[in-house]
Amino acid sequence: MHKLLCGVDIGGTKCATALVDTNGKIVDKINTCAHVDLNEDGLVKLVAGQIKELFSRNNLQESDVEGIGIGCAGHIRFKDGVIITTSNLKGFKNYPLRDKMQAYFKIPVILDNDANAQAFGAFKFGAGKGYTDMVFLTISTGIGAGIIINNKLYRGVTGTAGEFGHTIIEPNSDLTCSCGNKGCIMAHACGMALPYLYKKKINEGKVSKLNLPSNFNISKLSGQILKKGLDMDDPVSKEIISDSAYYVGLGIYNIFQTLNPPLVVLGGGLTNWGDFYLDKIKATFRELARDMIFDPMDIVISNIGADAGVIGAAALTIE
Site residues (CB under 5 A) for Zn ion?
Answer: 166, 177, 179, 181, 184
91: left (phi over 0), alpha (psi -120 to 50) or beta: left
Name the minimum Å distance from CB 138 to Zn ion: 15
Phi, psi angles (nearest 5°) of residue 236? -70, -45
Sheet of strand 109-113, all strands in order from the earlier edge strand to the far edge: 26-32, 15-20, 4-10, 65-72, 109-113
Name the minimum Å distance from CB 265 to Zn ion: 22
Q: CA 6 from chain center: how many Å?
A: 19
Q: What counts of helices (H) and strands (E) characterise the chain?
A: 9, 12
Of 179 and 259, which has the nearer Cβ to Zn ion?
A: 179
Name the minimum Å distance from CB 93 to Zn ion: 19
Query: How far apart (Å, rounded) are the C-alpha atoms in residues 212 and 208?
Result: 9
Do the beta carbons of residue 285 and residue 246 sit within 8 Å? no
Phi, psi angles (nearest 5°) of residue 143? -130, 130
Name the minimum Å distance from CB 123 to Zn ion: 26
Of 60 and 192, which has the nearer Cβ to Zn ion?
A: 192
> For residue 226, what are the contacts with CB-CB under 8 A and spacing of at least 6?
194, 237, 240, 241, 273
Name the minimum Å distance from CB 177 to Zn ion: 3
Name the minimum Å distance from CB 249 to Zn ion: 19
Beta-carbon-side half-sphere exposure of residue 75 (alpha carbons within 13 Å) = 10
Name the minimum Å distance from CB 142 to Zn ion: 9
Of 30 and 250, which has the nearer Cβ to Zn ion?
A: 250
Of 185 and 316, which has the nearer Cβ to Zn ion?
A: 185
Closest Cα to residue 240, out of 285, 265, 282, 204? Answer: 204
Q: Which long-range contacts (CB under 8 A, 24 or more apart) does 90-95 make?
A: 91/39, 91/40, 92/40, 95/40
Of 188 and 201, which has the nearer Cβ to Zn ion?
A: 188
Of 172 and 217, which has the nearer Cβ to Zn ion?
A: 172
| DSSP line for 269-296 | GGGGGHHHHHHHHHHHHHHHHGGG--S-
